[in-house]
Amino acid sequence: MAHKINDSCASCGACVADCPMEAISEGDGKYKIDPDKCSDCGACVGSCPTEAISAE
Ligand code: SF4
């Protein structure tokens, strides 16, 4: 399991610094979460202004 960033992502990058696993990086048109690094802690969820991050 890993958290995911959906198409509501505005590529603002606000979530990146909140991830203790450094699992979030800029992707193609939106940011992405590396499922191999994500520990499902949920720390990034509240930082997203477009509510684009959720658990599976
Ligand atoms: Fe990082 Fe936690 Fe968000 Fe996973 S749920 S991407 S570990 S901040």
Query: 11-31, pLDDT tens digit by residue?
Result: 999 999 999 999 999 999 999
Residue with more model confidence, 52 or 56: 52
Question: pLDDT tens-digit profile of 37-49?
Answer: 999 999 999 999 9
pTM beyond 0.75: yes
Pocket of ligand 1 (CB under 6 A): 3, 18-19, 21, 23-24, 33, 38-44
Distance between Cα 20 and ligand 1 center (Å): 7
Q: Give the atom of ligand 1 at the shortest distance from the alpha carbon of 53.
A: 3
Whether residue 56 is predicted with pLDDT greater than 90 in this model: the reply is no
The 10 Å CB-count burial string (b at 16+, else e) for 36-51 is: eebeeeebbeebbeee
Strand partners, 53: 5
CA nearest ligand 1 atom 2, residue: 41
| pLDDT value, residue 1 | 87
